[in-house]
Amino acid sequence: MVLIKNVLNILKKSTACGISSIMAKVVDISSHDLQYLVSLATQSLKSGNIIAVPTDTIYGVAGLAQRNDATSRIYQLKNRDVKKPIAISVADIDDVYRWGHVTVSRELLSELLPGPVTVVFRRTDDLSPSLNPDVPLIGIRIPDQQFIRSLARACQEPIALTSANISCCPSTVSVEEFRELWPVLDLVFDGGMLGNTTESRQGSTVVDLSQTGVFKIIRDGSALRPTSDLLEKHGLKNGKTLESSDVRSGADR
């Protein structure tokens, strides 16, 4: 709430010129070619800035995951609990293997991604220790969205990605819905309305695959059923179901 009030104060004190400057941060993706958009966003991220981007689910705020200053700013602008880890977004399947210790087949991974799913594995040593310190796992996304995938490919490093909203507030599916964050973002890439249903605001389905042969749904998200069905089809056991069975049988957990 403090951050929201501070941002509103910034807007109230802005002159007409200042408001124009804020509006100039908004880049309509449909009005520019992909190469220009990626170049603009890459330059901003490489400078340590935070930007807003569309994904295949909701809008997100993004910074370079290997830069401590960038990830710290993400926590600050969202008023996010520093104990809550941030996921990374990458471009291709090969990138998942670089940043996480993959426990499933490449075939399965390629069926899950790109898509509205965050896969969680044990992190590799290549990730900056300043990102989610003392957390052994890392959530990895490959959104089914050309712009953000091209951006990650151009940056040649993972992008820290989380929802474009103040923590505990609803997720956003249009740039107008997080207008209060514009002053603290370097650029806002407008991909239009991403959805208008409750489901579209649920974000990605988050699944823990860090244990071989077992999956655990951490967040239902927008792709719960197809994700669970696919994992079971490939022979993985639902960890939550196993835990429930242990409780019913009186077994130690």
How many Å apart are CA 77 and CA 182, to the nearest integer? Answer: 10
Q: Is the pLDDT of residue 9 over 50?
A: no
pLDDT for residue 87 is more than 90: yes
Average model confidence (pLDDT) across the chain: 88
Cα distances (angstroms) measured from residue 119 to each of 72, 87, 139, 153, 218:
23, 9, 5, 19, 10
| Preceding omega of 114 cis (within 30 degrees of 0) | yes
* DSSP helix/strand/coil, 44: helix
Which comes out higher in pLDDT, residue 72 or 251?
72
Asked if residue 112 lies in contact with residue 230, where contact means CB atoms within 8 angstroms, the answer is: yes
The pLDDT of 82-88, averaged and rounded, is 95
Residue 129 is classified by DSSP as: T
Q: Given this model, what pLDDT does residue 6 score? A: 46
Single pTM value for the model: 0.87
Taking only the tens place, the pLDDT of each residue in 29-48 is: 999 999 999 999 999 999 99
Rg (CA), the chain: 19
Which residue is it, tokens 């929802």?
Answer: 163
| Tokens linked to 95 | 């990138």
* CA distances in angstroms from 213 to 15, 103, 107, 204, listed in the order given: 58, 8, 15, 22
**Residue-level pLDDT at 197:** 75
In the numeric block, which tokens belong to residue 218? 């951490």
**What are residue 184's DSSP bridge partners?**
none
Contact 135, 160 (CB under 8 A): no
Distance CA 103, CA 112 (A): 13
Q: What is the pLDDT of residue 23?
A: 59
In the chain the domains, ranked by start, together with CATH numbers, are: 2-210 (3.90.870.10)
For residue 198, the model assigns a pLDDT of 76
Q: Is residue 63 a contact partner of residue 50, using CB atoms and an 8 Å limit? A: yes
What integer pLDDT is reported at residue 207 of this predicted model? 98
- Which of 120, 107, 166, 117 shows the shortest CA–CA distance to 144? 117
User: How is 58-117 classified by DSSP, letter by letter?
Assistant: SEEEEEETT-HHHHHHHHHHHT--TTS--EEE-SSHHHHHHHEE--S-HHHHHHH-SSSE
| CA atoms in the 13 A half-sphere facing the CB of 166 | 15
- The mean per-residue pLDDT over the stretch 223-233 comes to 98
For the segment 198-221, the average pLDDT, to the nearest whole number, is: 94
d(CA 217, CA 236): 12
Q: Which of 99, 124, 94, 131 is nearest to 109 (CA)?
A: 94
